[in-house]
Structure 1
Amino acid sequence: MFSPEEGTDDTYTQTVLNISLEEGIQTFLSVDFVNKKLFRQIKDYNATLIHRELTPTSEAAKMAESEGADIIIVTGYDEGGWIPQNQIGTFSIVPTIVDAVDIPVMATGGINDIRGVRAAFVLGAEGVYVGTRFIVSEECPASDITKQDIIRSKAKDLVFVSSLQRSTPHKLARELESMYKNGMSPDEEMSLRPGMLEGKLDEGIVSVNTAIDVITEVKSCEDIVKELMADFIK
């Protein structure tokens, strides 16, 4: 669930939370701001609360912990999706947040193979949160064209379509890149479905992390998990 700042009126989030609690959901993911009211409701039900700040800082992590978060997801600048605005890489921000809180930390951003998992754990993370790698899975509904685009693409070729998002380089992405460089604010969010889901690469954007060079084939989710967690699976 997305967490607006306390004091804002978000009827949708509150409704989703109420229904989820009534249905006995025991794990919640909060994204962006710490909403103290929602946090209290979740903790009153003794549910597990995982919090992910879009732009992680030690101060934000400490606040989330003090308000009842059980796990912190730490997002590095390497990630796909909405890029943190502090421009700190995953393997720089992870130990910073690990040192700031006493609850488990999960690392995310550019983790596509077991080497990334191992590095995250060495730096103090107790779990990883993986996105881009699972786009290139058999089960993902993304177009096969999109999956092959990610396999073919290299990190050095990615373009910024805004301060919040990067994409593989195709017609619309190039146009958005030009607009961004010229100080305009393109609305690239509306272009996710054509590129990510439908494989219309010139009509949308394909948002990925910066470690795509190591993604070389489509695999099942089971095989991806086994590869990522090989050190922990007996």
Structure 2
Amino acid sequence: MKTLTIKLTGPLQSYGNEATFSRRTSYHYPSKSAVIGLIAAALGYRRGDLRIKRLNELKMAVRIDQPGRTLTDFQTIEYNQKNGKRSLSYRDYLQDAVFVVAVAGEDQQIKLIETALHHPKFQLFLGRRANVPAGLLVTQVFDEENPAVVLRQYEWQAAKWYQRQQRQPKYIAEIIADADLAKANLTTFVKDNVGSFSQDHRWHSYRTIISMDVELENRQYHGQDTSHDIMANLEG
């Protein structure tokens, strides 16, 4: 078993956790279905390909290196040209976010996925078709079968301007992982295992996840810690 890391960054990303016509929100991190969709597109799997469902067996963890900001796009959609009927739609995006996804599988499978991500058969996008990656994907393979362990040790991938902005020697990042990858007191169910990407009958099933924090070194920090306790100063 090996683990492949994929850096996901772009002007806009969106990972839907609610898909109604009038409102489409986003998780604050890449969903497993979105990552599987990215990999499936790279491999050249079409929506009805049965091999897509088997990609659910990949173990996955995501680290939020740069949360970004939520951007809401307001759209007016004309769905009946004959009578001019229109509908309003709000769609949320993550702006300037950076994530590191780690997926683990059999050695040959991971090698195949990494090669495909750099030579994709279909267009790659980050959650929605219009959200293209910011250039070539940055990937790396590790001889470690646990993605959560890899992300605990992997160098912080946020933009340099964001790292400088933190003004601290350490940064606390959140990791969201499959529940069996680490011990945790609290688990949560999310509906992002792929059942089918078919446009006629798209559906997902639940998986169990955990959330944990990891302390990362800020290589852009070169000064003294500027944080201070004003109450402690008054007491002195």
Specify if TM > 0.5.
Answer: no
Max Rg structure: 2
TM, length-normalised to structure 2: 0.26
> Higher RCO, 1 or 2 (CA under 8 Å, sep at least 6)?
2
Q: More helix per residue: 1 or 2? A: 1
Q: More strand per residue: 1 or 2? A: 2
